[in-house]
Amino acid sequence: MNKMSEIITAVAPVNIAVIKYWGKRDENLILPLNDSVSATLDTNIMCAKTSVCASLDFTENELWLNGKKDSFTSKRIINCLNKIKEIATEQKSVPADFLTWKVRVCSENNFPTAAGLASSAAGFACLVSALAKLYKINTDISAIARMGSGSACRSVYGGFVQWHAGVETDGSDSIATQIVPSSHWPEMRVLILVVGDTKKHTSSTDGMQLSVKTSAFLKHRVEHCVPKHVASIRKAIQEKDFTTFAELTMKDSNQFHAVCLDTYPPCVYMTDVSFKIVELIHAFNKQSGEVKAAYTFDAGPNACIYLLEKDVPELLSLIKHIFPSSNPETFVKGLSITEVSNPELLCSFSSLRQKEDLIKYVIHTKVGNGPEFINESHLLNGSGEPIQIS
């Protein structure tokens, strides 16, 4: 081995939008039509991990994704790498010949990509964090992560985050900023209900394009609804007003899926099971006499439920009752909870009871911090070879 850089390894979080991004004004730079707001989830429970290095000896850029060799030809990856090198050139942050060295990237998610969870957001936030460190650039990296996957720009910060659509044609003001850090609302919890689903859904890229082309409701949402949703949810987050936060979250998710239905031909992401979850959450809130939980759905059938720590045991016992599992021991993953038993409550919901295994499993997590660097357990060895992932 001639010359090789150090290996940089980053972990980066998933984020789940409470005010959804749907529709681009620039496909290449990935510039959105509207602002969006999300919470970043704890990397201890769900994360992408990426190692990168560069060497004079590498003859081509190479990529390994979840244990398999992948091609380095994706326009989005190349755009991110080129942008980072462009900034490194401007900032003279590394020697000029270092910029000619080829890179190796090895990345994995600690959660199933196939589960339809926001894996590309974590993946691109991780890749861009690691490359930005490798090339020693000093800049806000959200606009670079955005060029990989729009929603990835929100994963470069922890806590609650806003992605500003911006107005510039070069995308320079389409960046993410933190609204509050995770420590601001430490009681906030998230349950991800992974719904069994084999249907191939329209990708978010294709779905958005079609919505922009065909949905008059999307235009109305972007102009008249989202600005109000964003302003109100920012205030609710700042004031820790769970009721307003939860209602806006549910309404914005419903509105986003209404835009999907208004798209021609329609994009249908939610399934019967998704709608059963919607019904359960509303019934739970009604029975509680207050809004204790909020659902939100991305471009797939999985539900993401926001709720406060004190309400997790009760809602989880209800979910287990309504959606029984044939594997109850492994049904809930992530943060541990103290189980509660309230037979009366369960009994009052029995009419909603479903058949087994409609929900595959539940991930219990919380709001967390942005990307971090680690100095051990790299995914590339000292020669830049991928380490076999178990």
**Contact residues for ligand PMV, defined by CB under 6 A:** 17, 20-21, 36, 120, 149-151, 204-205, 298-299
CB 292 within 8 A of CB 315: yes
Residue 203 or 243: the one with the smaller Cβ distance to ligand PMV is 203
Angstrom distances, CA of residue 96 to CA of 52, 61, 88, 135: 19, 18, 9, 11
Q: Give the shortest CB-205-to-ligand PMV separation in angstroms.
A: 6
- Please state, in angstroms and rounded to a whole number, the distance separating the CA atoms of residues 191 and 364: 5
Q: Give the shortest CB-181-to-ligand PMV separation in angstroms.
A: 20
Residue 12 or 332: the one with the smaller Cβ distance to ligand PMV is 12
Can you read off the two tokens belonging to residue 248? 């806006």
CB 142 within 8 A of CB 175: yes
Residue 176 or 315: the one with the smaller Cβ distance to ligand PMV is 176
CB 30 within 8 A of CB 163: no
Q: Give the shortest CB-19-to-ligand PMV separation in angstroms.
A: 8
Q: Give the shortest CB-121-to-ligand PMV separation in angstroms.
A: 6
Q: Which strands make up the sheet holding 160-163, listed edge to edge?
A: 15-19, 36-40, 160-163, 176-180
Residue 101 or 269: the one with the smaller Cβ distance to ligand PMV is 269
**Type of residue found at 94:** V
- The CB density around residue 199, as the number of other CB atoms within 10 Å, is 9
Angstrom distances, CA of residue 14 to CA of 121, 153, 208, 296, 359: 6, 11, 20, 15, 20
Cα 67 to chain centroid distance, Å, stands at: 21
Residue 132 or 165: the one with the smaller Cβ distance to ligand PMV is 165
Report the run of H or E that residue 77 belongs to, with start and end. helix 75-91
Residue 152 or 318: the one with the smaller Cβ distance to ligand PMV is 152
Q: Give the shortest CB-57-to-ligand PMV separation in angstroms.
A: 35
Residue 114 or 389: the one with the smaller Cβ distance to ligand PMV is 114
Can you read off the two tokens belonging to residue 197? 């689903």
Q: Give the shortest CB-47-to-ligand PMV separation in angstroms.
A: 17
Q: Give the shortest CB-228-to-ligand PMV separation in angstroms.
A: 17
